Structure 1
C-alpha cells in the first residue's frame, strides 16, 4: 500500500477560514494543501463537501495508567481520542504512582509506545519534594511541561503555599500548567459544609472565592518571577476579569473545558447528579456565558477536555465520597461543531483553540 494519500475535494478548515482544496498526506504528515493536487501512485479518498480539520490536540487528559487501569488506560483513552478527532494528547501526572521524577516519566512513555493510538506527551507533577529539580527534568523526552495542583489531589501532588509555588516557578523556563483552586479555602469549606452536603452544593463548597484566591496568588508570583503559566479549566467570570485586568500578556495563557461551556448549574446536578461533578465545578449560566465570550475574544486560548473517567460504581457513591471527573476527549469536536451550528463559534475558531492554542500553551 502506498504511503501517498490524497483527500480529494474537501472543505479544508484552517485558522483563517474554510477553503475548498485537496490534501496530500505522505506517511504521517501533510505534504501539501491546494487545488487539484496530482501525485503519481497516490491513493485517493473522495471527501467532496466534507469538512477537513487538522488533528485536534487535547492538552489535558487523565488516562489513569499506571495504577488506575480499572477506569481507563493509555490504549483505551487514546482510542477514544482518535474517535473524536484528537490526534495528540498531553496526559496529567496524578496516576498511581504520580509522575514526579524521570523514572516515572520514562515508564509512562514506554507504556504508551506501541499502544497509544495518538501522539502523546506527559506532564511531570510538581511537589515540595521535587520543586528545585524540575528545571533539570522539564525538557526530558516525552515531557510536555510541569503541572501544579494548588488544591489537593492524588498522593504528594500538592503545592499549597506561595513559597513552594515560587520555587517551582523559579526552577525552569517552560510554561507551567496550574490547577488553580486554593487548598486553604478548600479545607475550610469542606470542614464547614461537606458532612451534610449534596452534589448540587459542589459549586458552593469549591466556590468562586476558592478559584479567585488561587489565581490571584498565581498571578502575583508570575509578575514577580516572570515565569509563563497556563491556567487550566477556568470556571469563573471573576477569574476572566482578573486575568484581563492584570494584563500580563503571553505570560498567562488559559483553558476552558467543554463541560464549563455546555453545562450549567443547577440543571446539570438535578439531571445528572454526581456524573456532573468535577473540579473546579460546573457553575451557573452567568459564568458559562462569560467563559464563552472570553473564548471567542481570545482571553481563553485553548480547549482542554480534562477527560477524567471513573467507573459507574464509583460515581454512584453519595456525595462527597463520589469522585470528581467527567470523560470528554471523544466529544470535544462534536460539541464545538454544535457551537458553530448555534452561531457562537466559527469553524476557524475550532482550529485556533484546538490546535494553535494548545501549541502556544
Structure 2
C-alpha cells in the first residue's frame, strides 16, 4: 500500500501504551500503526528519537477575541497551540462582549473561519439571564458546552450564589464546566491584595476559596442530578474531595 505520509521510527504513545512503530497516513487520517518498513509514501518523516503522540485537545483556552486582541487572538492563539501539538481547542466565553447568546457565538465562528489553525469550538457562558435557554444554547453548532464562573469574572458571567448555580444546572443537559472559587470569600479577602505585589495573589485567592466553592458545587450537582467538570483545580484538598464524587464530577488540573 502507498501512503500519503509515513511517520517512521518514532516511539508511539497512545491508548495501547508505548512502543516503537511507524504511522501511515492517507487523506489526512491515520490508516495504520505498525511496521511500515516495506511500504512507500509520498512523504516520509523521520521520527527517530522522537515521541509520536495523538493530537492534544485543550478544553480550556482564552484567545481573547473579540475585544481583547491586544492580549491574544484566534489566529495567534491557535497557531501557538498547533506548534505545541494541540490540534483542537475549546475557547472560553469571557471576551468582550461575553459569549452568552447565539449572535455572539456566530460572531466567533465567523471570526475563526479561515483564520484558526486547529479544530475548535466555543463555550457559551452560563448566566442568571440566559439560564433557562441553556439547553438550546449548548446544542448550537460550534458550541462545546456551558461555562460558569462561580468566582470573579467579567460582564454578566458571574454566578456566585447557590440559587443561580442551581438554576443553571437544572437546565443544562450536557456536562457543565465551572470556574470554582467562592466569590464571597474572595470579596472578604480582597483587602489583603497589595498593589504591585504578586505574592499577595494566593493570599486573596487562597485554597479555602477553592474548596468551599467546589464542595458547594458538588452538593448542587447532586441536588439537580447534573454532571459537572471542574476546571483548573489547584489544590490537593479539591483533588482528594473530588476523588469521592467521580459519578458526578470530572476534573482537570492546572499544569
TM-score range, shorter chain: over 0.9
Q: Which aligned pairs between 1:181-200 and structure 2 lie closer than 5 A?
A: 181-190=181-190, 192-194=191-193, 198-200=197-199
Instruction: Decide whether aligned partners of structure 1 residues 38 and 229 sit closer, same or farther in structure 2, where only a CA change above 3 A counts.
Output: farther
Q: Decide whether the 8 Å contact of 2:3 with 2:24 is kept in 1.
A: no
Residue 196 of structure 1: CA displacement? 6.3
Corresponding position: 1:207 with 2:210: no
Residue 223 of structure 1: CA displacement? 1.2
In 1, Cα distance between equivalents of 2:196 and 2:161 = 27
Q: Which residue of 1 aligns with 2:77?
A: 77
Mark the runs of 5 or more structure 2 residues left unpaired by the alignment. Answer: none
Q: Which aligned pairs between 1:1-361 and structure 2 lie closer than 5 A?
A: 4-36=4-36, 42-190=42-190, 192-194=191-193, 198-244=197-243, 247-258=244-255
Residue 40 of structure 1: CA displacement? 5.8
Secondary structure at the residue paired with 1:128? coil
Relative to the length of structure 2, the TM-score reads 0.94
In 1, Cα distance between equivalents of 2:127 and 2:252 = 22
Q: Decide whether the 8 Å contact of 1:100 with 1:126 is kept in 2.
A: yes
In 2, Cα distance between equivalents of 1:78 and 1:176 = 23
Residue 224 of structure 1: CA displacement? 1.1
Q: Decide whether the 8 Å contact of 2:3 with 2:41 is kept in 1.
A: no
Q: Decide whether the 8 Å contact of 2:194 with 2:200 is kept in 1.
A: no
Higher strand share: 2
Secondary structure at the residue paired with 1:103? helix
RMSD across aligned C-alpha pairs, in angstroms?
Answer: 1.8
In 2, Cα distance between equivalents of 1:195 and 1:71 = 24
Q: Decide whether the 8 Å contact of 2:6 with 2:41 is kept in 1.
A: no
Q: Which residue of 2 aligns with 1:320?
A: none
Higher helix share: 1
Instruction: Decide whether aligned partners of structure 1 residues 42 and 185 sit closer, same or farther in structure 2, where only a CA change above 3 A counts.
Output: same
**Which range moves more in the overlay, 83-92 or 27-36?**
27-36
Residue 38 of structure 1: CA displacement? 5.8
Q: Decide whether the 8 Å contact of 1:24 with 1:37 is kept in 2.
A: no
In 1, Cα distance between equivalents of 2:148 and 2:38 = 49
Tell me how many residue pairs correspond in the alignment.
254
Residue 199 of structure 1: CA displacement? 1.9
Q: Decide whether the 8 Å contact of 1:22 with 1:33 is kept in 2.
A: yes
Residue 239 of structure 1: CA displacement? 1.2
> Relative contact order (C-alpha < 8 Å, sep 6+): which is higher?
1
In 2, Cα distance between equivalents of 1:199 and 1:48 = 43
In 1, Cα distance between equivalents of 2:188 and 2:133 = 31
Instruction: Decide whether aligned partners of structure 1 residues 170 and 37 sit closer, same or farther in structure 2, where only a CA change above 3 A counts.
Output: farther
Secondary structure at the residue paired with 1:232? strand
Instruction: Decide whether aligned partners of structure 1 residues 3 and 32 sit closer, same or farther in structure 2, where only a CA change above 3 A counts.
Output: closer
Q: Which residue of 2 aligns with 1:264?
A: none
Instruction: Decide whether aligned partners of structure 1 residues 9 and 136 sit closer, same or farther in structure 2, where only a CA change above 3 A counts.
Output: same
In 2, Cα distance between equivalents of 1:132 and 1:197 = 41
Residue 249 of structure 1: CA displacement? 2.0
Instruction: Decide whether aligned partners of structure 1 residues 123 and 164 sit closer, same or farther in structure 2, where only a CA change above 3 A counts.
Output: same
In 1, Cα distance between equivalents of 2:41 and 2:182 = 59
